[in-house]
Amino acid sequence: MKKLFCVCLTLIVFTITCITTYAQGLMITYDGTTKEYKGNIYKLYVNDELVISDMPPIIIDGRSLVPVRAIFEQLGAEVEWDSKNKKVSVSYESDEVVLTINDKNALVNGKKVEMEVPAKIINDRTMVPLRFVGEQLNMEVGWNAEKGEISISNKEYLQYAKINDIKYIKEKDRQSIAINVDKFQDYKILRLPSPDRIVVDFTNTKLSVKQDNIKVNEEFLKSIRCSQFENNTARVILDLEGQPQYRVTETKGQLLVNLEKKTTNADADIIGVNNPLDGFSRPVDNQLDFKHIAQSTYEAVVIDVKDYKGYETFKLPDPYRIVIDIPEAIASNEMKTVNIDSTLIKSVRYAAKEPKGARLVIDTKGDLEYRLVENDGILVAYVAKSIDLISFTPSRGISDRDEALERGSLSVSYKAQEDHEIVALFTSDYSDYSIEKLLSENKIVVNLPNALGPSKEQSIDVKSSHIESIKYSAVNRSSSKVVIQLKAQCQYVVVEGEKALVINVIPSVDEDISQTDEGENSAGKATPTPVKTATPEPSKTVVPTVTVTPNPTVVPTSTGINSDKEPIKIDHAFIDGVDSITIWAEDVDDFNVWRLTGPDRIVIDIPNFDAGREQKISVDSSNISSIRSAQFEETVGRVVVDTIGQPQFESRKTDKYITLIVRQPTYKNIQYSNSGSRVYFTLKGAKLTEGGQSITRFYTDKYEFDGRRYSITFPSELADLGVGTININDSKVIDVKITKDDESNQTTITFTTKEPFNYEIITRASENDTTITLYKEASRKDRLVVIDPGHGGSEPGATYGGVYEKDLNLDIAKRLNALLKSHNIKTYMTREDDVYVGLYERAYIANNMNATLFVSIHNNAYYSQYSGTETLYYPSNSPGFNSKRFAQIVQEELVKALGTKNRGIVERPNLVVLKATKMPAVLAEVGFMTNEAELAKLKTEEFRQKAAQALCDAILRALDEVE
Ligand SMILES: [Zn+2]
């Protein structure tokens, strides 16, 4: 008896864990009969993601039928059901399949095609043959009977590279992480401090296998984490213990990251590590350059030249100018003039001086006092109305620009060794550097956010067998970029030296090449490691012995960064409170100007225009802070004007230039926000409505012009907005006009938009501001999920251990938003940044938008011994899918994924966001911030990502039930 019991138990366990999550004895009803389903239950993967729906794939006559809506909508197809004719149509891109229930004839793009098994209604679900429909829509359908898996992927998904596997390998004194990818795309490696970690981002790549994080806890490495960072970027994070040396090797289908002890000279056996800078010295480049710094009472011209010995200086009148001659400096014969137009300085000019050296002239606005100071190896000219106004200690508390000056400037050296080539980036501060390998352009790009490169691009023509050139320059005032243009397929090893980052470029050893006799690669021919075995070579071998398939797309292209170009010419003047920006652009046909917010800026795009090298011009004005220009797309040049607040702008064009005029607005107390999917205006100190649950409106409104013009009118004393037109011209809003009728004492705001919108106007009681939100109603077949990150702005929610609830909520919400979007679910976030949003506002917008589901994300606080997850809902007796059922699903998924204490679902009849919302709505309290252990978890990205994933899973399940 006992024995039999054991057997039974084993069987049940086997059934539950190995076959599926569906209970035994699935009863299915179709064609008028009900019977127990005896077929196999397969796992179904959609774009490599396991789909759990209440109906598994049902096998009838050897064909699998799947719930049409759950599966094909997830694949981005549109599904329509015609209940009268019992027809279901599935369309994807330009293809359409129409099936009639129990009819073997399908219509594929209007043509009749016969199937083996027709669509059926099973358990009230419309089930269609997966392979037939999938293949007609050009999707890939896979069937693995051994594993019990069926898969379907759409074309878009198949285009991505996939990370199939991540392995950890430990050897004697080296650890390796092997990331298996099916094809290489561009990738970027960053080393980040506090906590120490290495981040590898693969673009256009999906994390194909849902892999658990690997806990390592060895000398250098704590753990390996991976996630789909963005829709098209897969991210692998190595949590480090200390700062080991790392090197990166590409092999066929694998990126190998080795971690090893930072090598000292004694045990150096890896190339480049033993005295990486042996035989190198920092190049002396005595090119003259300068930087301008403005302070409130004085200005400084920092003369960037390494050797300024023997300099002479004097002042001249008519016009007033300061002259500095430097005998050892190098400058071009042609005079370079830089317009400064600051309070004290008109411009700075410099050129070569006969017979030797260079001359720099500072054109001043009037007769000013000045002094030259040698400051830590840099020559600085200070200019002021009176010498007493100058503070000569630029390192203390002046500005970030001075700080930048203290940082290491960048210079680059190259040296060829017998079996590899070395590029040394000399700078005392290479912290936070990142390295990108761009496969299509075959270059290595090193970004140095804290190193000061030359403002004029420097180039080293290498023309070796592996490196074509090395180019480097400042990207802006504090960061630099080095581009190593490769010729052949190469790998690299990064060595972090003292005051230099050393990139060793090593030829990749191709399997074929290694069999032919090519002298210079001989070191690499040692023992090619077989493909796909992740064992790294013993550290004695000099060159990584790996096999690499030549990438057919490695042809260097001329597109990419505009490394050998000058930036375009932009002039700026600030006169009488008005900024005039002149962009020299000859013979351009057209341009487009619009406003962006968060941060506030004005963008000018010029089609068929070459913007040259990136530049950033700092500006001293009350309307704008800087002007930037860069190539935006291959054929579109972009100029960005960073504004202070939202000033007024106008633009015009001649055949030589485009002018943008920016001035203080005549409107006030109105702020536009278009930084996320939420588009809204804030009227400061304006009271246009009263009440929450029932609203009294103090305005009248009307629509004109096909819903694209909307105006609201109210007594002028309710809001002090001034008058004027806010030009916007983004994808949604053209402009907003504020007018006043003095006779009737009425103010009118008129919105003109590019498409029809609806408007929700609500005064936030606690702030006394009014928000006007522009939204679109979701259509009936859209499934819109409103995500509500709790609290925000002046209302932080629970605060514990220096952590704000509002920040945790927003972070989880953003992750959830990204996940839902990757499932093609329409979403709307009630806030996308740290702003206050009223509770009724949140609920009413969800109602107005006709949302299918509403999820509010919060975290709990109580006594420290309390912990766990709970989901709140508003009690209702409505039949079918309701808030209570939704809360059950959310609670189940959260507890399952997070492993937190299950505090269950809780009825909350008085929470506004739950009570005032008309659709199924829940409020998830993810964890307790007051519990030390739970707060520690909430502080990790990993935990918040898990919470977001659980909410996403819950929403997918709920959407399936809600239909
Ligand atoms: Zn809260």
The DSSP secondary structure of 716-772, one letter per residue, reads GGG---B-EEEE--SSSEEEEEEEEETTTTEEEEEEEESS--EEEEEEETTTTEEEE
- Mean pLDDT throughout 888-898? 96
Q: Average of pLDDT values for 53-57? A: 82
pLDDT of residue 285: 63
Task: Please list the active-site residues.
Answer: 925
Tokens of 417: 């060794």
C-alpha of residue 912 to centroid of ligand 1, in Å: 12
Lowest mean pLDDT among 119-123, 159-163, 273-277: 273-277
**For residue 424, what are its two tokens?**
């040394």
Q: How far apart are CA 796 and CA 926, in angstroms?
A: 16
Can you tell me the mean pLDDT for 76-80? Answer: 89
Grade residue 554 by pLDDT with cuts at 50, 70 and 90.
Answer: very low
Q: What is the mean pLDDT of residues 468-486?
A: 84
Backbone dihedral angles phi then psi of residue 957, each to the nearest 5 degrees? -65, -45
pLDDT of the residue at 739: 94
CATH C-level class of 570-663: mainly beta
- In this chain, the answer to whether the domains covering 160-264+508-556 and 570-663 adopt an identical fold is yes
DSSP 191-231: EETTTTEEEEEEETEEE-S-PPPEE--SSSEEEEEEEEEET
More confident residue, 614 or 957: 957
Q: What mean pLDDT is reported for the chain? A: 81
Pairing of strands 921-928, 853-860: parallel
Task: Please name the fold of domain 2-157.
Answer: Copper Amine Oxidase; Chain A, domain 1 (3.30.457)
Measure the CA–CA gap between 767 and 186, rounded to whole angstroms: 47
The continuous run of DSSP H or E covering 961 comes out as helix 941-962
Q: What pLDDT is recorded for position 858?
A: 96
Q: What percentage of residues in the chain have a pLDDT greater than 90? A: 33
User: Count of H helices and E strands in the chain?
Assistant: 12, 71
The torsion angles phi and psi of 107, rounded to 5 degrees, stand at: -105, 115
Q: Closest Cα partner for 838 from 670, 719, 682?
A: 682
pLDDT band at 852 (very low <50, low <70, confident <90, very high): very high
Supply the CATH classification number for the domain 296-398: 2.60.40.3500
Q: How many residues does the chain have?
A: 963
Range with lowest mean pLDDT among 481-485, 497-501, 700-704: 497-501
12 DSSP assignment: H
How remote is the CA of residue 598 from the centroid of ligand 1, in Å? 25
- Residue 10: the pLDDT is 37
**Exposed / middle / buried, residue 333 (Cβ in 10 Å: 0-12, 13-18, 19+):** exposed
Residue 961: CB partners within 8 Å, gap ≥ 6? 54, 881, 885, 889
What are the residue ranges spanned by the domains of the chain? 2-157, 160-264+508-556, 296-398, 411-507, 570-663, 780-963
pLDDT band at 386 (very low <50, low <70, confident <90, very high): confident
Compute, in angstroms, the gap from residue 782 CA to the centroid of ligand 1: 29
Residue 790 Cα to ligand 1 midpoint, Å, equals 6
Burial of 900 (0-12, 13-18, 19+ CB in 10 A): buried
Ligand 1 mean position, distance from CA 805 (Å): 7
Q: Answer yes or no: CATH 2.60.40.3500 is held by domain 160-264+508-556.
A: yes
Dist CA 709 CA 753 (whole Å): 6
Cα 806 to middle of ligand 1, angstroms = 7
**What CATH number matches the domain at 780-963, 3.60.15.10, 3.40.50.970, 3.40.630.40, 3.40.50.2000?**
3.40.630.40
pLDDT digit string (tens) for 155-209?
888 888 888 888 888 877 778 898 988 887 788 888 887 788 899 998 888 887 7
Distance of alpha carbon 777 from the chain centroid: 28
Cα distances from 345 to residues 125, 292, 301, 373, in angstroms, run: 76, 9, 10, 18
pLDDT score recorded for residue 477: 61
Q: Residues 41, 66: contact at Cβ < 8 Å?
A: no
- pLDDT at position 19: 39
Nearest one of 361, 382, 364 to 314, comparing CA atoms: 361
- Indicate whether 927 pLDDT > 90: yes
Please report the pLDDT score of residue 13 as a whole number.
36
Instruction: Say which CATH architecture domain 411-507 belongs to.
Output: Sandwich (2.60)
Question: C-alpha 369: how far from its chain's center?
Answer: 48
467 vs 519, residue with greater confidence: 467
Residue 61 confidence class, pLDDT cut points 50, 70, 90: confident
Q: What is the largest CA-CA distance in the chain?
A: 114
